[in-house]
Amino acid sequence: MPLILDEHNAISIIKLMESVNTTGIKWHIISKVENDTIFVRGISTLLSASSCDISFFSNYRYLNDIYKTQACVVIIEEKFYKHVENIESKNIQCFIISDNAYLLYTRIAQWFNNFISNICMMGRNIDRTSIISTQVNIGKNVVIGPYCVIEENVEIGDNSIIGAFSLIGSGVKIGSNCRFFPRVTLYKNVCIGNNNIFHSGVVIGSDGFGYAQDHSGNNFSWSKIPHFGTVLIGNNVEIGANTTIDRGSLDSTVISDGVKIDNQVMIGHNVTVNESTAIAACVGIAGSTMIGKRCIIGGAAMISGHLNIVDDVHIAGGTAVISNITKAGRYAGVYPYSSHIEWQKNAPIISHLAKLRKMIMFPHSNN
């Protein structure tokens, strides 16, 4: 990748490591030269790195790449260092030995990303093309891009960035250090915590899919259920492009601290997603379902409404969950489609196939 820092902003490896959040990571430096003479300007893969880059090695399959890299600094795990400690490289000036090289790389990449964001936003504030109510409370160092609409009684915390063409509805509360990319839409009264990232096309707080069957009169119709609730989103949440989260009908839809949601995810009304759960792309979660803490939901999984899923559940991609999950663990399952009547007949049989097979193969077994 291109160098991130120009030569005037190149940073010594010592100063970089002092600036990076290394909480929970053990690390130390082994170098061929004095550490304060090693300067870096970017971060890259082993094969793409230039002589001013820092790179990382955390998978043995890329061992050969470390002999070819141009990087001057390589982050590496202790268990791999013994394989490369005697490497003869004209380029690598030092190794950063860590107990979690990939996490340390992530933290360093975050530092570079924040540096870029600060440079890009320097001197920018509120674009003159945006329409902003006079009844708003905007914190310090807030950036509002072109053609945004900020309605009345909105609160935006310090150091937050609202991308172009975004709509912030009336009564919305946004915490500090949030980053909204262009065309984010927050309906009225949504409440957003601190340190959140919303990508383009995110829609928070639209009405849930709620209708009552109406047989009054001569014709059948659907009667819309008004949604008076809202959406509450905690801290350190990231939501991918074109994801939608519906508001609650009476109570709130809740996305808790540390949740990570991929692109094109649909979360229905009154759903609760608890702390540190990760949801991959194209997942659908129907209304009033509760997802536990630290769950992982694979891409295109479908979760029915009014269910409870406990903490530490891993649902494989494409799995249809139609009942409560009461025990932590990994779950997977894909049925071929059929008529609903046939499915009702076949599903109980399929779920007992292992037992039926054992009965056929070992008819005299008592177990």
pLDDT tens by residue, the chain, 367 residues: 555 777 777 889 999 999 999 999 999 999 888 777 889 988 999 999 988 999 999 888 888 888 889 999 999 998 888 878 777 667 889 999 999 999 999 999 999 888 877 766 655 688 999 999 999 999 998 999 999 999 999 999 999 999 999 999 999 999 999 999 999 999 999 999 999 999 999 999 999 999 999 988 778 999 999 999 999 999 999 999 999 999 999 999 999 999 999 999 999 999 999 999 999 999 999 999 999 999 999 999 999 999 999 999 999 999 999 999 999 999 998 666 678 888 788 878 877 888 888 888 887 776 6
For tokens 């350190």, name the residue: 236
* Phi, psi of 123, rounded to the nearest 5 degrees: 85, -5
For residue 221, what are the contacts with CB-CB under 8 A and spacing of at least 6? 214
Both tokens assigned to 179:
């980053």
Confidence at residue 199, expressed as pLDDT on a 0 to 100 scale: 98
User: What CA–CA distance (Å, rounded) separates 297 from 318?
Assistant: 9
Measured from the Cβ of residue 308, the count of other Cβ atoms closer than 10 Å reads 14
Do residues 46 and 74 lie in contact, with contact meaning Cβ atoms separated by under 8 Å? yes
Both tokens assigned to 35:
């550490």
Say what angle helices 340-350 and 353-361 make with each other, to 10 degrees: 50
- Asked whether this chain's domains 11-121 and 131-331 adopt the same fold, the reply is no
Hey, which residues are catalytic here? Answer: 269
Q: Do the bridges between strand 211-214 and strand 221-224 make them parallel or antiparallel, or are there none, so unpaired?
A: antiparallel
User: What CA–CA distance (Å, rounded) separates 202 from 172?
Assistant: 15
Q: Where are the domains of the chain?
A: 11-121, 131-331, 336-367
Burial of residue 140 (CB within 10 Å: 0-12, 13-18, 19+) is exposed
66 DSSP 8-state letter: H
| 330-339 CB burial, b ≥16 within 10 A, e <16 | eeeeeeeeee
Q: What is the CA radius of gyration of the chain?
A: 26
Residues paired with 357 in a beta bridge: none
Q: What distance lies between CA 109 and its chain's CA centroid?
A: 16
Fold adopted by 11-121: 3.40.1390
Residues paired with 150 in a beta bridge: 132, 168
Confidence at residue 121, expressed as pLDDT on a 0 to 100 scale: 61
| C-alpha torsion sign, points 131, 132, 134, 135 | positive
First-residue to last-residue Cα distance in the chain: 60
User: What CA–CA distance (Å, rounded) separates 50 from 69?
Assistant: 8
Burial of residue 215 (CB within 10 Å: 0-12, 13-18, 19+) is exposed
Using DSSP, state whether 165 is helix, strand or coil.
coil
Residue whose C-alpha is closest to residue 229's, from 268, 198, 190, 256: 190
User: What CA–CA distance (Å, rounded) separates 16 from 160?
Assistant: 25
Burial of residue 305 (CB within 10 Å: 0-12, 13-18, 19+) is middle
The Cα-based distances of 213 to 218, 248, 318 in angstroms read 13, 19, 30
Q: Do the bridges between strand 173-174 and strand 211-214 make them parallel or antiparallel, or are there none, so unpaired?
A: unpaired
Fold adopted by 131-331: UDP N-Acetylglucosamine Acyltransferase; domain 1 (2.160.10)
